[in-house]
Structure 1
């Protein structure tokens, strides 16, 4: 069995790896959300305000991005014992772990919920409404939101036939919100591992003392 000092060193190494991993996922989440603001790499949709509400919420930027990145920085500083964490005791390290875990978990959950809702509602795009006695033959909206008979996520024949503009709106929407959903799940998993690792570190610190 490993001695308490050895286990503490392993716990700190694990914190460094977890901090780096969380920080990387946060950057990817922010990047995916930024891309969602520019469908087909076209800035005109953003300038005209023709972006879906879920992308405009920016939860990948401030939730899965900034909040998780802040938590990752705290976790890394604790692992490397840098700055004010150099001589921190077990109780202070545990408090930092709880704070960073809670912050990262909240950010990841917000991103997860928003991404799930975005995938459920579908993309914001131009679609044909000529069959519903509208004054205009087309309008911007969420054509898949009230489409209860067919699930657009599984029925790929709807992807190019419903949304007229932007082109490939469904592919863009599904690809990047699915990416955000997967990233947030990974972040939640990393937070749970960090929480367990922090408890092991606290236990080893108390044993050593």
Structure 2
């Protein structure tokens, strides 16, 4: 497969991953599926790793990857003087943007998984006291600790599941963008189609 066509496949694959990350981050604003005051939402959710890192920043590499198959056939952005090789080389920069964005999401997700969710830890005289009952990821190996969160119901599994999805999707995005770095280098050195033919440089 030509390097431009392979890049397009990577771009298509990144689209559903980015959508899933954005949706997961949005759902995290509703702990346990409940609407709560903004002060009671886990701090890492506000960093918007899924929306900004794996979502918005991923738009740039996606668009570039999708357009490479066409753009590199007549130069960079339609300019014949640029050449196919420069188009592939420039894709490496956008792949790096994707790695940074996905990396940001991965870091935020890992920190949040270790930190645990904000939840109601005590109820006295109908007053609910919120806090972070977990530390250093101790709840990950001992599910009995989850009972420390009284409300919202199932907030721990909600928090852990969604951030785990963000973590996994971010790692996949990083891997795909890293693959495009290699693909871009090969396309730059060998041309669009290393095997020759009409698409070769």
Fold agreement, TM-score > 0.5? yes
TM-score of the superposed pair, with normalisation by structure 1: 0.81
**Worse-matched range after superposition: 88-97 or 27-36:** 88-97
Say whether 1:50 aligns with 2:53.
no
Q: 2 CA distance for matches of 1:113 and 1:107?
A: 10
- Contact 2:7–2:68 (Cα < 8 Å) also in 1: yes
Q: 1:98 Cα deviation (Å)?
A: 2.2
Tell me the equivalent position of 1:171. Answer: 157
Q: 1:92 Cα deviation (Å)?
A: 2.9
Say whether 1:158 aligns with 2:148.
no
- Contact 2:85–2:187 (Cα < 8 Å) also in 1: no
**Worse-matched range after superposition: 33-42 or 199-208:** 199-208
Tell me the equivalent position of 2:197. Answer: none
- The partner residue of 1:204 within 180, 190, 193 is 190
- The partner residue of 2:60 within 64, 70, 80 is 70
Q: Which runs of 5+ in 2 are unaligned?
A: 195-199
Q: 2 CA distance for matches of 1:89 and 1:136?
A: 70
- Contact 2:89–2:185 (Cα < 8 Å) also in 1: no
Q: 1:96 Cα deviation (Å)?
A: 2.4
Q: 2 CA distance for matches of 1:202 and 1:105?
A: 20
Say whether 1:106 aligns with 2:100.
yes
Tell me the equivalent position of 1:195. Answer: 181
Q: Quote the RMSD (CA, aligned, Å).
A: 2.6
Say whether 1:31 aligns with 2:23.
yes
Tell me the equivalent position of 1:6. Answer: none
Tell me the equivalent position of 1:127. Answer: 121
Runs of 4+ with >6 A deviation:
none
- After superposition, the Cα gap between the structure-2 partners of 1:28 and 1:93, relative to the gap in structure 1 and judged at 3 Å, is same
- Contact 1:71–1:104 (Cα < 8 Å) also in 2: yes
Q: Which runs of 5+ in 1 are unaligned?
A: 1-8
TM-score of the superposed pair, with normalisation by structure 2: 0.84
Q: 1:48 Cα deviation (Å)?
A: 4.4
Q: How many residues align structurally?
A: 191
- Contact 1:23–1:73 (Cα < 8 Å) also in 2: no
**Worse-matched range after superposition: 80-89 or 177-186:** 80-89
- The partner residue of 2:129 within 139, 153, 175 is 139
**Worse-matched range after superposition: 177-186 or 194-203:** 194-203
- The partner residue of 1:93 within 83, 87, 90 is 87
